[in-house]
Amino acid sequence: MKQQNSTTRYYAIAKDALLKTFKTSEEGLSESEVKQRLEEYGPNALAQGKKQTLIQKFFNQFKDFMIIVLLVAAFISGVVAKEWADAALILAVVIINAVFGVFQESKAEEAIDALKEMSTPEAHVKRSNQLEAVSSEQLVPGDIVLLEAGDIVPADIRLLDSASMKIEESALTGESVPVEKDITVLPDEDIALGDRKNMAYMNSNVTYGRGVGVVVGTGMQTEVGHIAGMINRAEDSSTPLQDNLNTLGKTLTWLILIIAAVIFGVGIFNNPSELPMNELVIDMLLAAISLAVAAIPEGLPAIVTIILALGTTRMAKRKALVRKLPAVETLGSTDIVASDKTGTLTQNKMTVEKVYQYGHLQNADAKISGADKVLQVMTFSNDTKIQADGNLVGDPTETALIQFGFDHNYQIADELKKEPRIAEVPFDSERKLMSTIHQLPNGKLFIAVKGAPDMLLQRITQIQATPEEVRTFTDDDKTAILTQNKAMATQALRVLAMGYKIIDTLPTEVNSDTIEHDLIFAGLIGMIDPERPEAAKAVSDAKNAGIRPLMITGDHQDTAEAIAARLGIIKPGDDAAVITGAQLDQMSDQEFAKKVKNYSVYARVSPEHKVRIVNAWQKKGKVVAMTGDGVNDAPALKSADIGIGMGITGTEVSKGASDMVLADDNFATIIVAVEEGRKVFSNIQKSIQYLLSANLGEVLTLFMMTLLGWDILLPVQLLWINLATDTFPAIALGVEPTEPDIMKRKPRGRKSSFLSGGIGSAIIYQGILEGVITLGVYAIALMFPVHSGNAAMHADALTMAYATLALIQLFHAFNVKSTYQSIFKIHPFKNKMFNIGVAASFIMVAATIMVPGFNRLFHVSELNLVQWLTVLGAGILMIVIVELVKLVQRRTMKN
């Protein structure tokens, strides 16, 4: 298939040369030429990313290192230790986890599918000098396409003719105001997408006027196709959660193998029973396997998945819809929130903010009379359609003017009935004015003119000085108006001027020369796409949480800087913190990497710039969240550690490329989601601290029993301890209430792990403590036997060690509710699920000793009251010692 040259600057080629380049004419291509080019270039459709089969997606879930560890554990339990029931349980956990992962995770190809669905169903094209309506997929380079208001642009088109044409390109450029188009040839140099006035791009919307152009790019060679290619090529970055679990799994595996080998070697060397070598080897191999199975936290991936799933449920209730489970935790580690401006930080709705009349500037909410000419002009010189249900259809700037009238109880429909439009001079991009003529009840005619202030002022001879007085327009008046115009423009307001006059009769010819002269100045209107009301507080909350907010937009620098200052992203007048896409192009990656920390606002950027910004921060080890709602945001959303799409205003493309979608398009919801993410990570840390300290206690107990020549705990006992005490308390720790200072902590960043923040050292000393206390109970049982006889004495001692090792973990679960805070300060029984989980685990352990028949199955003996009190005392001792250590730690940190 022949490739189109997508790098050519078609906006810089003259009309005749352009038609010659594409071997076409204004009459269009012939049918035979179209057929030939379809074979050469292919259909005008987007290529789809390579899709994985359901089976491939399923087996991809097993690439996680901890899952591999679990599969090895299942193999050891079944094939070597002959514990087939335990092997089946572990395999069930692994398979359920994989199925859940396939079901929950988003697929990258959804973004491409959404792009394909956006394509317009048909286009109006001229072929062999005949106008036809054809499927947009049948367009080829060189086709002559006609565009009208309401059309979706079907391909990338260089305009040959334009009449008052405006195209809304916010999904591609991020600019909220429709772009006025013309056919002027532009310089042969790199020009930002939003400034290419003679180009129309695929999937943008024609909001006003009409035009004719030649197709210069189809399918993957369009700007939208370029974005689709970037999405296809983008690699999914691993999340901090996935990195942490992989690292933890590898570390545990090596430690387990080393310790198992040591126990095997020590057991062979220390042979107190003088067993034959073949029996000794089998016994010690089983002992090493028992230790390996005990040391592997087989429930960890499932427990993490459950905690994340519970987090997604809580976040959904707070309007944050998670599409990928790891995204829940990733939010909690976010350092940078790079946000699109239009529709994310702002409302994506032009709004009147300032009104200048009678020499005074006032806010839009100030009272304005229906008799004021500025209000009459802005609503009369307007092509907005007011539908029966009150919805406004038309150019966003004009609909904002009508909405302003509605907000001030101006009965526009009634006024137009009394003073109907009888003629008009449409807007065009050269004179930048629009005029409408209305029949007054007294027989005279009212002319309403709105447009660019500099163009309107050239036609002004009088000014509305007060509601009742019209006087001659002076140079001082002009200076005051221009000064006010500049001041509003500096605040990134889009300024329109209003003028009018009353005439007796309609000229023979209605045009600009006969109508737009000797006008009366009525006032100025300042408009802007305003920031969301809650956005400024959200930015402040982000900064307080140690998160740096960035604004990345395709809008103009002045507008971006003004909005960023109003939101608190930068300080007013801080130009050094603002950079444009053109300036970014002048920097090498190395230079940008050095300066990236200087910039908080990026204006007039392209999709490539957004990806480059995200990558630059990621290379500095930062966890980056990127928000967006347009097609142009999709590649950066996919490249970021967490992409956040907008549920209401967002395109299906941006939502398909996102990890999380905001159901209410509320920037403040991101901060709520960050809080939930931090809570999830903190609770996962608690679960890991609980599981690993328990497993370390088991490993130490087995190691020392082997070293001392004591009877060791059997695989079935260890597996039951893990099954009974790991699952319920660990999951319940995942729903612990949010700690009060969690949003005052700095982001932990990419380099942190589940073992950071004192967790690693806590696991070590608490695991050793569990092992030492268990061994102590075993020794006490041997020193103070209840039953006579060596076998009975050792059976009691082993049973007490088994009960202690299990129950001490349940007591320890209360310790890990907080790393440093006392359990008595954090309301230890507040979490009902935790209380139920601990009680259920206690019953499961006690049943193996107390229920007749179970003790034989688990090779344990019955315990009397004194022995049970000894076991319970050991559990209480665990809490007391850990509380004392926390007390010392708190005082040390305070000092």
Give the DSSP per-residue string, 686-754. HHHHHHHHHHHHHHHHHHHHHHHT-----HHHHHHHHHHHHHHHHHHHTTPPPPTTGGGSPP--TT--T
The residue with tokens 């720790």 is 733
Pairing, β 320-322 against β 660-662: antiparallel
**What DSSP state is assigned to residue 598?**
G
* C-alpha separations of 23 from 18, 19, 436, 779 in Å: 9, 6, 42, 96
Asked if 660 and 644 count as a contact pair (C-beta separation under 8 A), the reply is yes
Q: What is the Cα–Cα distance from 222 to 197, expressed in whole angstroms?
A: 16
Task: Give residues with Cβ within 8 angstroms of 291, minimum separation 6.
Answer: 256, 259, 260, 263, 698, 699, 702, 703
Measuring CA to CA, how many Å separate 319 from each of 114, 322, 625?
23, 10, 17
Distance CA 77, CA 724 (A): 17
Specify the DSSP element, H or E, that contains 38.
helix 31-41
Question: What separation in angstroms does the CA of 136 have from each of 18, 44, 140, 143, 219?
Answer: 22, 7, 9, 11, 10
Catalytic: which of 143, 151, 340, 796? 340
Single-letter amino acid code for the residue at 739: E
> For residue 689, what are the contacts with CB-CB under 8 A and spacing of at least 6?
759, 762, 763, 766, 816, 819
Q: What are phi and psi of 231, to 5 degrees?
A: -65, -40
Buried b (16+ CB within 10 A) or exposed e, 475-506: eebeeebeebbeebbebbbbbbbbbbbeeeee
Phi, psi angles (nearest 5°) of residue 640: -70, 160
Number of H helices, E strands in the chain: 32, 26
- Please tell me the distance from the alpha carbon of residue 375 to that of residue 498, in angstroms, as a whole number: 9
Distance from C-alpha of 128 to C-alpha of 135, rounded to nearest angstrom:
17
52 Cβ neighbours under 8 A, 6+ residues apart: 60, 107
Residue 379 burial (10 A CB sphere; 0-12, 13-18, 19+): buried
From residue 206, alpha-carbon distances to 149, 164, 165, 168, 211 in Å are 5, 11, 7, 6, 9
DSSP state of 530: P
Phi, psi of 121, rounded to the nearest 5 degrees: -70, -30
Q: Which position has the token pair 């509305």?
A: 464
What gap in Å lies between CA 153 and CA 179, rounded to an integer? 14
Active site residue 741: no
The secondary structure of residue 345, as a DSSP letter, is I
Task: Check if the beta carbon of residue 873 is closer than 8 Å to that of residue 800.
Answer: no
CA distance linking residue 721 with residue 624, whole number of Å: 41
Q: CA Rg, the chain, in Å?
A: 36
Pairing relationship of beta strands 548-552 and 519-528 according to DSSP bridges: unpaired
- In angstroms, how far is CA 466 from the centroid of its own chain? 52
Q: Helix (H, G, I), strand (E, B), or coil: what is residue 387?
A: coil
Q: Could you give the residue numbers annotated as active site?
A: 340
